[in-house]
Amino acid sequence: MEIARFEVVGRFAPSPTGPLHFGSLVAAVGSYCLARYHKGRWLLRMEDLDAPRVVPGAADDILRTLESFGLEWDGPVVWQSRRGDAYAQALECLRTKGLVFDCGCSRKEVLASAPHQGEEGPVYPGTCRKGLAPGRVPRALRLKVPDQGMHCFVDGVFGRCEQHLADAVGDFVLRRADGVYAYQLAVVVDDAAAGVTQVVRGADLLGSTPRQIYLQQCLGYCVPRYYHLPLVLSADGEKISKRHGAVSVGQGTDPSLMLCRVLRFLGQDLPPHCEKKTPQEILEWATTHFDIRKTPSVGQVVA
Ligand code: GLU
């Protein structure tokens, strides 16, 4: 009897706000190796929704850099900027279920009336949840978050994680006042549409995962398995980001050397003289030997 196999689908979803840096390469290599280790597909999505933050030329630069590392994706690249209809449809579905509401509050008003500071800024106090007060104009669209206690999930690297969504975040934005769809909505809609079963990304997004799982439940989607990778830290213990001047890993760097550094960062024991191999040979080794159980959860400084 033929046993149906569960196909693994992984993805890498960079934001084209600058060239690929060491931290984003960690997410690219980690998601690639885990998907290929499971003989699965690896998809690529450009998260270019937030037009003012998009840097012209950055998306192309990221794609060329991935190619230079031998990181080949399956199928066409998905561009979030072209998926407005899918996001609108998902919002409509949530509206029909009575799960979203128009909010007339400005950022300043939320800040002034928030009951407390949440994990990622002020917690929404619920001002417009029961309808807009007379004279108020709708600005953002928010999802109602019920006060139903802890939201838990088991991360493939961090283990059991939990968040009290109502306390830590509150009713969160799905479409901003400027009409831009929120990252939380887009990522959930896109992962579901592509049949993604495995989300591997940086630990800076650990706090977003309960929101995304809750949205998946509201929309009736399957919940993928999550793996959050350790953060790349600067010498003073801060997360390295493009804003903090992280160096690009593109042109001028030796791809083999860089791949070996990333794999060691992910806790993999490489064979001797690995740096002398081609990127293709290194990836071939990595995709047959990749062991996510060896990946540490604590951030590390990379010299
Ligand atoms: N676009 C996000 C970033 O570059 C990653 C989103 C995700 O992997 O869910 O940080």
Q: 224 with 286, same domain?
A: yes
> Do 68 and 21 sit in the same domain of this protein?
yes
Q: Does ligand 1 come within 6 angstroms of the Cβ of 47? A: yes
Distance of CA 288 from the midpoint of ligand 1 (Å): 25
* Residue environment code for 260-296, b if the CB has 16+ CB neighbours within 10 A, otherwise e: bbbbebbbbebeeebeebebeebbebbbeebebeebe
**Residue 3 belongs to a domain:** no
pLDDT classification of 110: cutoffs 50, 70, 90: confident
d(CA 25, CA 247): 11
Residue 1 pLDDT > 60 = no
Question: Residue 15: CB within 6 Å of ligand 1?
Answer: yes
Claim to verify: residue 50 and residue 198 sit in the same structural domain:
yes
Amino acid identity for residue 189 in this structure: V
105 versus 301: the higher-pLDDT residue is 105
Give the CATH number, domain containing residue 233.
Answer: 3.40.50.620
Residue 105: inside a domain? yes
Confidence of residue 55 (pLDDT cuts 50, 70, 90): very high
Distance CA 221, CA 184 (A): 14
Query: Is 58 among the domain residues?
Result: yes
pLDDT given at position 158? 97
The total of structural domains in the chain comes to 2
Q: Both 134 and 49 in a single domain? A: no
> Using CA atoms, how far apart are residues 225 and 241, in angstroms rounded to an integer?
25
What digits encode the pLDDT tens for the residues 121-135?
Answer: 889 989 999 999 999
Residue 201 Cβ inside 6 Å of ligand 1? The answer reads yes
Q: Residue range 53-77: average pLDDT?
A: 96
CATH number for position 172: 3.90.800.10
| Residue 180: predicted pLDDT | 96
Residues 143 and 243 both lie in one domain: no
177 lines ligand 1 (CB under 6 A): no
- Domain of 278, in residue numbers: 9-82+192-205+219-301
Residues 14, 140 share a domain: no
CA 170 to chain centre: 20
Q: Does 166 reside within a domain?
A: yes
What pLDDT sits at residue 129?
94
d(CA 183, CA 10): 18
Which residue's alpha carbon is nearest to atom 6 within ligand 1? 13
Identify the residue with better confidence: 192 or 5.
192
Residues 105 and 40 in one domain: no
Would you say residue 19 lies in a domain? yes
| Residue 20 token pair | 């690929």
Q: Would you say residue 211 lies in a domain?
A: no
Atom from ligand 1 closest to the CA of residue 187: 9
Task: Kindly state whether residues 51 and 95 are assigned to the same domain.
Answer: no
From 9, 34, 201, 206, give the residue whose CB has the most ligand 1 atoms within 8 Å, as the site to mutate. 201
Q: Both 112 and 145 in a single domain?
A: yes
Query: Sorting pLDDT into bands at 50, 70 and 90, what band is 229?
Result: very high
- pLDDT tens-digit readout, 36-49: 999 999 999 999 99
> Residue 252: inside a domain, yes or no?
yes
Residue 198 sits in the same domain as residue 264: yes
| Rounded Cα gap, residues 82 and 78, in angstroms | 8
- How many whole angstroms separate alpha carbon 275 and alpha carbon 257? 5
Of how many residues is the chain composed? 303
Q: What is the DSSP letter of 239?
A: B
Residue 210 falls inside a structural domain: no
Q: Are 142 and 174 in contact (CB under 8 A)?
A: yes
- State the pLDDT confidence band at 117, using cuts at 50, 70 and 90: confident
Task: Quote the percentage of the chain above a pLDDT of 90.
Answer: 82
Q: What is the pLDDT of residues 218-228, one digit of tens each?
A: 999 999 999 99
Mark whether 95 and 144 lie in a shared domain: yes
Q: Within this chain, do residues 71 and 120 fall inside the same structural domain, yes or no?
A: no
pLDDT of residue 283: 98
For residue 236, what pLDDT is reported?
72
- Counting atoms of ligand 1 from 1, which one is nearest the CA of 24? 4
- At 77 the pLDDT is 98
